[in-house]
Amino acid sequence: CDRILWHGKAIKQNLYERGEMRHSDHRPVRATFTIRTDVTNSTKASKNLIFSSARCETRENWSVVGNGN
């Protein structure tokens, strides 16, 4: 069973996709989320972060991004 576990009131799942691999029974999955949080550092507030696996990248590196609405 391939899944992405998440929990929280301020988290909205925007996308969940499963890849189709014919050479394996493993099905890679990906998801995008909108996360609302309080910002205490205004310098860091200008960066919109998207979390993917165990890394985070700035929004301009992604082509599919939810707008949080």
Give this prediction's pTM: 0.48
DSSP state letters, 15-63: EEEE---SS-S---EEEEEEE----S-HHHHT--EEEETTEEEEGGG-S
Please tell me the predicted confidence (pLDDT) of residue 37.
78
Per-10-residue mean pLDDT of the chain, 69 residues long, equals: 80 87 76 82 58 45 44
Please tell me the predicted confidence (pLDDT) of residue 47.
57
Contact present, 69 and 48 (Cβ < 8 Å)? no
Please tell me the predicted confidence (pLDDT) of residue 17.
87
